[in-house]
Amino acid sequence: MRSIRCTRSVLFGLQLILALVWLPSLPVSAEQVPASSVEFPVWSRSWVGTLGSKQVEVALNRTADGLSGSYCYQPCRAETRRQLVLNGRIRGEGAALTERDSGDGAAETGTWRIKSFENVITGTWISPNGERMLPLALSQTQDDLKARFPYEIRLLADALPEEEGDGCPTPPLVSAIRLYKDGALIQTLETESQGTCSVFTPYLIDANFDGWPDLSLAMFLPAGPNIPSQYWLYDPTTGRFVDAPAGLQGISSAEFDPVHRIVYSYWRASCCEHGVSTYRWTDGDVEEIDSQSSYFMPLVDGSERRLCYITPSYQNGEIEFISRVEQTGDGSLKLRQVEPKTCDIDAWVFLERTYIDIWQPSQNGQKPTRLRTEEIAWKQTETSVGQRFCPEVPFFDSGRIRRVVLSESPDLCSEQDPQQE
């Protein structure tokens, strides 16, 4: 099976979600915090219950005294889960939140006045004109990881986060994660993290699939999509967190599949090269087991030649190319999940990554297999500038492979045979 490995810088994990914790916020002690630093709580919590007579699901994130989140009316669907957004501030034991409909030009649709967050949310929803008021009654939910994480998380930083507005403020530099339990500081995890526009906050994962909650924190936002993160693994024998091994720290955009016990990563190596890598835990660290990269597939669409950008994806423990050319039982070829009209008119820039993989479809529950690869060959031919070695490109054309020598474009050709270099 063709495995295309890509040299990448040491980059770390992807999408960031706050750790879900249930302990109340603690006062800041002057003895615990250096004079040049401040400490503030962060959490992410979920609730279910009623808004008036309607059943709802609510998710809120706290950073210092700022709150943001969303809610949906049950049964929640993908298209409605993030449509109603909430933003506001902690006020004493409760909070004031503004509700907006993100699908209606961010129009304000109500106000939440929360009295308390103590395991349950109690308060009132108020209509924009103030004429309608509905009671809020929500109970906090916990997943297994959250239930096994009895700590309050606070961040140590050089300043408090600014209130979010229309601009993009510079977030504070976070120097440590502090874990508290029953009012006592249990552990300090040193780090160096600075977000863009907003603070990066820790999130809970089970990175090594042992059933215990581990921690991750993004460090900075690079120009590309591969966000470096720092990881800590929980040691249940000591009740403390330890630095994750170098192999895990070096994976960009790490995601975790507990069903297949695989760590996988979507990465980008350049503007036009994307890929997926998979890893397994072996002898206390992760080891790469597969890596596949994107490529360009030529095809003929009527009278036009096009290049389709084919990218891999992670599915059920395997890296797959969902868009592909398949060979049928009678030997003919067909496109699977490829729409020619969406492909670019041919622009021959990445010839070394231009080819057509031919796949046997999945049968009897077995995964599809790559039968062969039709690659570019170099043919000596006459061009407008004399004899040159020009690329002979395989095109998918009406259920077959048709090879075309691109002699009309001398810039693509070479005076020497590239196959001999």
pLDDT, tens digit (0-9, with 9 covering 90-100), for 327-358: 998 889 999 999 999 999 877 878 999 999 99
Sign of the C-alpha dihedral computed for residues 12, 14, 18 and 19 taken in this order: negative
Q: Is the per-residue pLDDT at 221 higher than 80? A: yes
- CA–CA separation, 419 and 421 (whole Å): 6
What number of other Cβ atoms are within 10 A of residue 105's Cβ?
7
The per-residue pLDDT for range 139-170, each reduced to its tens digit, is: 999 888 988 998 999 999 999 998 866 678 88
pLDDT tens column, 76-106: 988 778 789 999 999 999 999 999 998 766 7
Domain assignment present for residue 195? The answer is no
| Residue numbers of the domain that contains 372 | 295-420
pTM of the model: 0.82
Residue 30 predicted with pLDDT over 60: no
CATH number at residue 83: 2.40.160.90
From 124, 143, 162, give the residue that closes a domain: 143
Whole-number percent of the chain with pLDDT over 90: 72
Tokens matching residue 362: 């999945």
Q: Which amino acid is at 274?
A: H
**Whether 59 contacts 67, CB under 8 Å:** no
Residue 209 lies in a domain: no
Q: What is the mean predicted confidence (pLDDT) over 300-322?
A: 95
The answer as to whether 321 is a domain residue is yes
From residue 2, alpha-carbon distances to 104, 265, 269, 377, 413 in Å are: 47, 18, 18, 18, 26
Three-state SS string across 27-67, please?
A: CCCCCCCCCCCEEEEEEEEEEEEEECCEEEEEEEEEECCEE
- What lies within 8 Å, CB to CB, of 102 at 6+ separation is 82, 83, 84, 85
Q: Is residue 205 part of a domain?
A: no
In order of 71, 80, 111, 172, 248, the CA distances from 68 in angstroms are 11, 17, 13, 18, 30
- The whole-chain average pLDDT of the chain stands at 88
Examine residue 289 and state whether it is found in any structural domain, yes or no. no
Q: What per-residue confidence (pLDDT) applies to 165?
A: 65
Asked whether residue 125 is assigned to any structural domain, the reply reads: yes
What pLDDT, on a 0 to 100 scale, did the predictor assign at position 13?
A: 36
User: What pLDDT, on a 0 to 100 scale, did the predictor assign at position 240?
Assistant: 95
Number of domains within the chain: 2
Q: Which of 143, 177, 204 is the last residue of a domain?
A: 143
Question: Apex CA 253: angle with CA 251 and CA 258, to 5°?
Answer: 85
Whether residue 372 lies inside any domain: the answer is yes
**Cα–Cα dist 119/23, whole Å:** 9
Q: Given this model, what pLDDT does residue 409 score?
A: 87
Q: Domain boundary residue among 123, 143, 163?
A: 143
Q: Which residue has the tokens 């929980």?
A: 234
Mean pLDDT of 356-381: 92
In a domain? residue 204: no
Query: How would DSSP label each residue in 126-148?
Result: E-TTS--EEEEEEEEE--HHHHT
3-class SS of residue 3: coil
N- to C-terminal Cα distance for the chain? Answer: 25
Q: How far is CA 26 from the centre of its chain?
A: 32
| Residue 125 confidence (pLDDT) | 97
Please, which residues bridge with residue 300 across strands?
305
Coil, strand or helix at 399: coil
Interval 107-142: pLDDT, tens: 899 999 999 887 789 999 999 999 999 999 999 998
Task: Tell me what pLDDT residue 169 has.
Answer: 87
pLDDT in tens, 375-416: 999 999 999 999 999 999 999 999 999 999 999 989 999 999
Range 265-284 average pLDDT:
93
The mean pLDDT of 67-78, rounded to a whole number, is: 92
Q: Token digits for 367?
A: 């995964």
